[in-house]
């Protein structure tokens, strides 16, 4: 299993499918941000990370320009990562409540974090083509995450991307089609590699956290719900 993830990670890191994203991520890595001038930016696509036997999959949008694109690990080195990791720590899915650098000792427990798009996009807005270009990597991660049972989607784009992927795998989506609403839980009639339960959550971006649209209590409830679902009979241990 580890070897399969390592081979997939190497393929993702070498990816240059999206010229716009390549230009942007590499320019950010050259120009840098003043407070991080001493850093050697990662400046490459990011693979997912976490427990290869995870039952919980967390799907975000994309690496932050001065977060994951700088540190080389998703949700690391920016405020979104700190919000997410505090919630995961309180719910028992992370070994520590901070995520500063990729060698900081953080371990995810029964959780795996990945993203819709693997490169930092300008204005945090990937195009449909860029999302489609990255979808194969998410498919491969799902195939390797054989025990995944619950997906937490952070933001509307991640939610829509996951449902589209499920439909492509032949999953008959509920009618009416599930709508993005923070805290909503949907059960799909899915078979592997598509997990059967999806939880929608606002993304812990500054746009949401600084305006109060998303509070720490709201994010905590999402991951406590994920924990309870995994503990229910017939879902997983």
d(CA 206, CA 213): 10
Q: What proportion of the chain, given as a percentage, has pLDDT over 90?
A: 96
pLDDT digits (tens, 9 = 90+) for 44-55: 999 999 999 999
The answer to whether position 49 is within a domain reads yes
Strands 56-60 and 111-115: parallel
d(CA 117, CA 140): 14
Q: How many domains does the chain have?
A: 1
In a domain, 236, yes or no: no
Q: Does residue 40 fall inside a structural domain?
A: yes
Residue 74 located in a structural domain: yes
Measured between alpha carbons, how far is 222 from 73 in angstroms, rounded to an integer?
Answer: 23
pLDDT value, residue 237: 36
- pTM attached to this predicted model: 0.96
Does the pLDDT of residue 236 top 70, yes or no?
Answer: no
Residue 237 lies in a domain: no
Is 146 inside a domain boundary? yes
Confidence of residue 235 (pLDDT cuts 50, 70, 90): very low
Residue 1, pLDDT score: 53
CB 185 within 8 A of CB 229: yes
Q: Which tens digits make up the pLDDT trace of 145-196?
A: 999 999 999 999 999 999 999 999 999 998 899 999 999 999 999 999 999 9
* Domain coverage including residue 138: 2-231
Domain with 130 in it: what CATH number? 3.40.470.10
In a domain, 174, yes or no: yes
């Amino acid at each position: 299993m580890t070897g399969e993830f390592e081979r997939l990670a190497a393929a993702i890191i070498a990816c240059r499918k999206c010229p716009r994203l390549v230009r942007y991520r590499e320019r950010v890595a050259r120009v840098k941000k003043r407070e991080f001038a001493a850093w050697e930016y990662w400046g490459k696509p990011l693979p997912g990370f976490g427990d290869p036997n995870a039952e919980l999959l967390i799907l975000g949008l994309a690496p932050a320009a001065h977060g994951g694109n700088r540190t080389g690990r998703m949700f690391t080195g920016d405020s979104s990562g700190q919000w997410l990791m505090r919630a995961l720590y309180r719910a028992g899915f992370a070994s520590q409540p901070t995520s500063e650098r990729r060698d900081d000792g953080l371990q995810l427990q029964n959780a795996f974090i990945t993203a819709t798009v693997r490169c930092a996009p300008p204005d945090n807005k990937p195009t449909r083509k860029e999302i489609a270009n990255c979808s194969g990597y998410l498919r491969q991660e799902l195939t390797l995450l054989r025990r995944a049972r619950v997906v937490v989607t952070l933001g509307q784009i991640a939610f829509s991307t996951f449902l589209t992927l499920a439909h492509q795998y032949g999953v008959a989506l509920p009618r009416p089609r599930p709508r993005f609403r923070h805290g909503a839980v949907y059960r799909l009639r899915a078979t592997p590699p598509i997990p059967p339960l999806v939880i929608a959550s606002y993304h812990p971006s500054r746009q949401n956290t600084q305006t109060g649209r998303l509070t720490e209590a709201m994010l905590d409830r999402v991951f406590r719900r994920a924990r309870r679902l995994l503990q229910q009979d017939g879902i997983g241990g």
